[in-house]
Each structure stands twice: as structure tokens, then as C-alpha cells.
Homo-oligomer: A and B are copies of this chain.
Amino acid sequence: MQDQLKLDDFICFAVYTASHAFNRVYKPLLDTLGLTYPQYLAMVALWGEDGQTVGGLGEKLFLESSTLTPLLKRLESAGYIRRERSREDERVVVLRLTDEGKRLKEKATGIPGCIAAASGRDAVDLTRLQAEIVALREALNKSVA
């Protein structure tokens, strides 16, 4: 197995660099909304279901509270969400879209199409590849659990 340490053969490196590549495609699009990529993901999750908790959002995004809390504070000070402590359970913080946060969804409708176009593949092919990468993620997550 000679010198097996070739960076270009590492699937982790492919994923790592592809992730950065996505970020670079997204950046100019998201700049017009005043969002970073992780902030955009949080907004997408909230557009899908308003009133989620910090913990619930973290489970969806695979992020810790130490990452989300400051990110959500920035979204709050940008005026897109409110962070309200739940009355029933004072430990829980509920995230609610402001009117401006809801309006932002309309401005973001074109983005997925731009990304799909930049990927240079048809929708069917993207869906298949997406499912394969999710399966890879699940296998990796299972191995550390």
C-alpha cells in the first residue's frame, strides 16, 4: 500500500473543500440579505417551523448551544428573530421570526436555484448525490455516538 497519504484521495478532504466552495458561492448571494451561511441555515429552519427552541434547532443543524447562542443573538440584533424564554419552562428559549424575518423568506426564494445552477448538475443527479452524502454523514455520526 506504498505511500497512501495523498490528500486528493481523502474523501474527508473532498467534503471539507466542497463545503468551503459552497460557502464561496453563497457569500455574494447572502450578502444581499445580510446573512452568513450558518445564519441562513437557521433562518431556513425557522421559516419551515417558527417557534422552535434553541435545543431543537441545534439538533436539526447538528450544532451546540455554544455555537447557536451567539449566532442567534446576532440574528436578533439584526431584527430577524426574537428570543423569548418560555413561560411553562423557564430553562427553554423559544425562537420567533419577526415580521422582517418572515419577509426575508421572499427575498431568499431565488437562492436555491442559483446554487443548483452553480453545481452544474441536474436536479435528479443532485438529489441522488445529496442522499449519498447524508448516508455518509449518518454512518460517521453513528461511529462516534
Task: Tell me if A71 counts as interface (CB < 8 A to partner B).
Answer: no
Of the four ranges (under 10, 10 to 19, 20 to 34, 35 or more), the interface on chain A belongs to 35 or more
Task: Tell me if A124 counts as interface (CB < 8 A to partner B).
Answer: no
- CB distance A18 to B48 under 8 Å? no
CB interface residues, A 1-52, toward B, < 8 Å: 3-22, 24-26, 37, 41, 44-45, 47-48
- CB distance A139 to B112 under 8 Å? no
Number of copies: 2
**Interface of chain A, helix or strand or loop or mixed?**
helix
Please judge, given known A-B contacts A5-B112, A12-B115, whether A136 and B18 are in contact too, CB under 8 Å. yes
> Footprint of B on A, CB under 8 Å?
3-22, 24-26, 37, 41, 44-45, 47-48, 60-62, 105, 108, 112, 115, 117-121, 126-127, 129-130, 132-134, 136-137, 139-144
